[in-house]
Structure 1
Amino acid sequence: MNKLRTALVTAATAAALALTGCGGSADSNEDANTLLFWHYEDETSATALAWQDAIETFEAEHPDVTVKVEKQTFEQLQKNAKIVLSGKDVPDLMEYNKGNGTAGQLASQGLLTDLSDSATELGWDTKLPGALQTTARYDTNGLMGSGNWYGTPTYGEYVQTFFNKDMFAEQGIEVPTDQKSLTAAMDAFVAKGITPIATAGAEYPLSQLWGELVLSHADRDFVDNFQLFKGDVSWTDGPLAEGTRDLADWINKGYVSKNASGLKAEDMAVGFISGKYPIMVSGSWWFGRLNSEVTFDMGQMLFPGSGYSSGASGNLLVVPTNAKNKDLAIEFINTALGEQAQNVAAVNGGLPVAGDINVITDDQTRLLTQNWETLVADDGLSFYMDWPVPGFYDQLVSFCQSVMNGSEDPMVALSELGEYYETGKTEILEG
C-alpha cells in the first residue's frame, strides 16, 4: 500500500502540473471582474443546466462581472486538488467531492474558506435539511457532520435501481418489488442466458452495488460508525462481511458478469441503454441521460429490501482559501441556491435541495424526486462507502475487482480493505 501511495502521489504531482498549466487560470483570475469557476458536470446534466441558469442570473445582476467556466474532470480534481489549491493560481469557485477523505481533508489542511458566517447570514443553514448539512460541515480533523461550514451543496444524489420493464415483460418475468422477488427475477434471467445487472468494475459502479448490499444489512448505528467514526465497525462479521458474501454469491450465480471487471461506468450505462441488461444499480446522476436516451419503459425504485441507500447532498461548491474573488464566489453560491436555479434543477431531474416538486410535470422525473424525498424524510441517506478516509476510493475499486475476478478470497480481500480503513481512521482522529 505504501508503494501504491507513492505511485499515486507521483502521478498526482505530474497531473497537477498539467492541470494548472491549462486554461490560463492565472491570467483569468487576475481580473477582479472575472469569477473563475471550475466544475466537471456534463453540460447536459441537470446540475450544469441549473448552474448555467445561475450564471446568467448572476451576470445580469452583476453586469461588470463575467463568470468564466473551466471544465475539469472528477479524476483530475480527486487526485490533484491538494497540490493545485496549495498554489496561488486557483479558481474562485470549485466543485469538489464531499466526505472525510476529500473536502474534509482539504478543510483540515486549511485549503478551503470557512463559509460558516455566510451560511448563517444568507440562510443556507435553514434552507438545507439537517441530513444535507452533514457533508457541508467538517471539524478540525476533517471529519464531516460537525464543525465549520466549508462547502455548500446545491443538489442531492442517491443510488437506486433502474429497470428495463419491457425486457422483463418480453421474458415473462415480474418486475421485483422486494429483495426476494429481485432474487427470483435475476435467477429467471440467468436461466434464460441473460446477465441481469449492468455494472463496471474498473470504476465506481461495482463498489456501489457492494455498498447497497452492505447497507441492506445495516442500521443507522453502522452508518454513523463507518462514516462518522462514532464507534468501531467489524470487518469479519456484520454488514461489511454480509454484503461481501452477497456480492461474491451474486457474481458466482451470474447476476453480474465477471467480464465487467475491466469495464468503466460509461460501458455500464451504454449496456443498459442499449437493452443488453434489464437492471442497473447506480446513481441518480444518470437519470437525465437515461430518461432522454432509453427507448423502453423504464422503472425506478430504491434498492429492494433495504432501508438505506448510498447518497447525500451532491458535490460541494467550495471557495479555495487562496481565491482572489471570495465575495463574488459566495454571492454566486447564493444565486445557485435561489428559487429559479433550483427549479431548473427540479424539472430536469436534478434533485434540488431547495426546489419545488410541484414544478415537475414529467412522471419519471417526479418518481426520481419522490424516491429522493422518501430517503431524506426516512433518514435513509447513508453516504458513499468510499468516503471515510483519503484514498479509499482506489482501494475499494481494487477490492471489488478482486472479488469479481476471484484473484483473492473475498474475506481476505475485505480484511485488507479494513486495514487500510483503520489506518486512515486513526490518522484522521489523531490529526
Structure 2
Amino acid sequence: MLTARKRTKRTVAVIAAALAGALVMAGCGDSGDDAGDGKSLKLWHYEAPNSAMGIAWKQAIEEFKKSHPGVTVKVEEKGFEQIQKTASMVLNSGDAPDLMEYNKGNATTGLLSKQGLLTDLTPEVTKRGWDKPLSPGVRTTSRYDAQGVMGSGNWYGIPNYAEYTMVFYNKTLFEKHHVKVPTTFAEFTAALEAFKDEGVTPLASAGAEYPAHQYVYQLALTKADRSWVDAYEQYKGKPDFHDAAWTYGATTFADWVKKGYIAKSSSGAKAEDAGAAFIAGKYPMFFSGSWWFGRFTSEMKDQWGTFPFPGSNLTLGSGGNLWVVPKGAKNKELAYDFIDITMKKGIQNTLGNHGGVPVAADPSAITDPQSKSLIQDFTAYADADGLAFYPDWPVPGFYDTLVSETQKLITGSADPDAYLDALKKAYDAGAPKG
C-alpha cells in the first residue's frame, strides 16, 4: 500500500504466525531445499493475517496443496520495507523465491523488469486469461515497457485484488462531538475545524512513512485531472511541480498542520502508529487505503465507516500489489498455478467478504454490507478512470524523498516552495531522459 499499499510495522512481526496454520496444512516443515524438482513452492508475501489478502491467500495455499499433492509450500517471513530495499540484490542471487508479492509502479516492478530480474508473464496471461477480469486502470500496473514504464509492453505482474484510498471515520466520535459526516470539501474542512474547536486533533497521520505524503498528493488531486496524472506517473508530458495542483497540495497540507488538523508530532510516526491510534479512538478520521479495512473490522471497538475524499474525482488507487515471478525462480510452473488459484471465484469471493477489493468475484457472493460498499466505491472510481496511482511510483527512490521532505513540511523546516523544489529535483534526476 507504504505507498500503496504500504504495509504496517505490525505485519512484519506477525507474518510467520499469520500463515502458520496454512503451512501446516500445506505440509511444510521440510527444511531441505528441494526447489527445482517441481515439489516445492517458495512464496514471499507480507499481508497481515486478518487482512482480506492474508485470509484469502491462506485459503489459496490450502487449495493449492489439494491440487498439488506432495508439493511443499514454503512461506518466508518478509516485510514490505525489507523487500523494497533488497529485491534487486536478492533476485540477482540464488535465493530468489518462486513467487513474490511486490509493489507496483515504475520505481519497483518497473525497475526490476528493466533490470531483467522478472519473468515475462505474457504467454501465461494469454494462456490462462488472467487479463480478462482486469479493468484498464487495474491493468496499467501489470505491464511495463523496455524502460520500465508502466502501462504498455509485457506483463510482469498479476494483481488478484485492487485497492484505493478513502477517509475512514469514527462514527462514535462524530456523534459524540455532533459533527456532520461531510460530503463536500467545504463540509470536510468544516468538520476538521469543528473537531479542533472541541480540542480533538481530527486527522491521524504519519510522517515517517507513507500516510503524510499521501495527504499531500490527494489534496493536489482535488485540482488535477487525468492528463496531470499521466504526465506525472507515465511521462506523458512534463509535470510542473509548482503548478496550481502541486502548490495547493503542499500549501494546504502545511496549513492543516499549522491549524492543528494534523499533529506536528506525527512527523516521526509510522503508518502503524497512525492506524493503531485510529483503532484506539484517538482520532476521528484517517485518510488511507483499503488495505486497512480488514484490520479495522476485526480490531475497532467503536463504530466506523468510510467516505470518498470529498471534492475530488481522483484518488490514490490501482490494482493491488503484484504477483511477480523472479527470473531465477526454480519452479515457475508451480508459481503460475498458484497465481491461477488466487484468480478463481472462491478465493476472490473470500477477498470480497473480508474487506478486500477483488478483481474477479461473483458480485452476488459478496454478502457483507460494508464490503459491498467498499467495492461499489472502488468500481465508481475505476469506471470513471479516477484511479491516480501513488505519488512515489514515478522514479526509483522517490518514496524516501517524499517521506523525508514531507517530514520537513510537517516540522516547518521547509516551506511549500522548498518542498516542491526538492520533489522536482529528485523526480527530474530519476525520470527517463529525452
TM more than 0.5: yes
Structure 1 ranges of 4+ moved more than 2 A: 23-32
Say whether 1:197 aligns with 2:234: no
Say whether 1:141 aligns with 2:144: no
CA separation of 1:28/1:182 partners in 2, compared to 1, >3 Å: closer, same or farther?
farther
**How far 1:75 moved relative to its partner?**
0.6
Q: Is the 8 A contact 1:26 1:89 kept in 2?
A: no
Residues of 1 paired with 2:240 and 2:154: CA distance?
30
**How far 1:31 moved relative to its partner?**
4.8
Structure 2 residue ranges without an equivalent (≥5):
1-28
Q: Match of 2:58?
A: 52
Offset from partner CA, 1:265-320 (integer Å, 9 cap, x none) = 11111211111111110011001111122222212111111001101011000000
Q: Is the 8 A contact 1:29 1:91 kept in 2?
A: no
Q: Which amino acid aligns with 2:346?
A: Q
Say whether 1:311 aligns with 2:317: yes
Matches within 5 A, 1:90-169: 90-169=96-175
Q: Which amino acid aligns with 1:365?
A: S
Q: Match of 2:21?
A: none
Q: Match of 2:302?
A: 296
Q: Match of 1:278?
A: 284
Residues of 1 paired with 2:414 and 2:68: CA distance?
58
Q: Is the 8 A contact 1:346 1:356 kept in 2?
A: no
216-225 vs 52-61, greater mean Cα deviation: 52-61
Say whether 1:369 aligns with 2:375: yes
Offset from partner CA, 1:71-123 (integer Å, 9 cap, x none) = 20001110000000011221000010000000000001100000001111111
Structure 1 residue ranges without an equivalent (≥5):
1-22
**How far 1:137 moved relative to its partner?**
0.2
Offset from partner CA, 1:215-250 (integer Å, 9 cap, x none) = 111100001000000001111122111111111111
Q: Is the 8 A contact 2:60 2:342 kept in 1?
A: yes
**How far 1:375 moved relative to its partner?**
1.1
Q: Match of 1:330?
A: 336
Q: Is the 8 A contact 2:247 2:416 kept in 1?
A: no
Q: Which amino acid aligns with 2:339?
A: I
Q: Which amino acid aligns with 2:324?
A: V
Residue 36 of structure 1: SS of its match in structure 2?
A: strand
Residue 150 of structure 2: SS of its match in structure 1?
A: coil
Say whether 1:180 aligns with 2:166: no
**How far 1:184 moved relative to its partner?**
0.6
Q: Which amino acid aligns with 2:118?
A: L
Aligned residues: percent identity? 49
CA separation of 1:381/1:24 partners in 2, compared to 1, >3 Å: closer, same or farther?
farther
Residues of 2 paired with 1:380 and 1:300: CA distance?
18
Q: Match of 2:235?
A: 229
CA RMSD between the two structures: 1.5
**How far 1:361 moved relative to its partner?**
2.2
Normalised to the residue count of structure 2, the TM-score between the two structures is 0.91
Say whether 1:246 aligns with 2:248: no
Residue 239 of structure 2: SS of its match in structure 1?
A: coil
Q: Is the 8 A contact 2:161 2:320 kept in 1?
A: yes
Residue 163 of structure 1: SS of its match in structure 2?
A: strand
Q: Match of 2:88?
A: 82
Q: Is the 8 A contact 2:122 2:155 kept in 1?
A: yes
Offset from partner CA, 1:9-59 (integer Å, 9 cap, x none) = xxxxxxxxxxxxxx9998253553001001111122111211121111111
Say whether 1:407 aligns with 2:413: yes
Residues of 2 paired with 1:59 and 1:292: CA distance?
28
CA separation of 1:357/1:419 partners in 2, compared to 1, >3 Å: closer, same or farther?
same
Residue 302 of structure 2: SS of its match in structure 1?
A: coil
Residues of 2 paired with 1:327 and 1:25: CA distance?
21
Residues of 2 paired with 1:270 and 1:42: CA distance?
14
Q: Is the 8 A contact 1:357 1:369 kept in 2?
A: no
Residues of 2 paired with 1:174 and 1:133: CA distance?
37
CA separation of 1:368/1:80 partners in 2, compared to 1, >3 Å: closer, same or farther?
same
Q: Match of 2:364?
A: 358
Say whether 1:345 aligns with 2:351: yes
Q: Which amino acid aligns with 2:49?
A: E
Residue 167 of structure 2: SS of its match in structure 1?
A: strand
319-328 vs 352-361, greater mean Cα deviation: 352-361
Q: Which amino acid aligns with 2:98?
A: D
Matches within 5 A, 1:13-32: 27-32=33-38
Q: Is the 8 A contact 1:272 1:278 kept in 2?
A: yes
Residues of 2 paired with 1:83 and 1:170: CA distance?
52
Say whether 1:418 aligns with 2:418: no
Q: Match of 2:396?
A: 390
Offset from partner CA, 1:126-171 (integer Å, 9 cap, x none) = 1211211100000000000000000100111111001112211111
Q: Is the 8 A contact 1:115 1:149 kept in 2?
A: yes
Greater percentage in helix: 1
Residues of 2 paired with 1:173 and 1:54: CA distance?
43
Q: Is the 8 A contact 1:204 1:265 kept in 2?
A: yes
Q: Match of 1:6?
A: none
Q: Match of 2:12?
A: none
Residue 323 of structure 2: SS of its match in structure 1?
A: strand
Residues of 1 paired with 2:132 and 2:103: CA distance?
22
Residue 94 of structure 1: SS of its match in structure 2?
A: strand
Residues of 2 paired with 1:213 and 1:35: CA distance?
43
Residues of 2 paired with 1:132 and 1:236: CA distance?
29
CA separation of 1:254/1:24 partners in 2, compared to 1, >3 Å: closer, same or farther?
farther
Q: Match of 1:5?
A: none
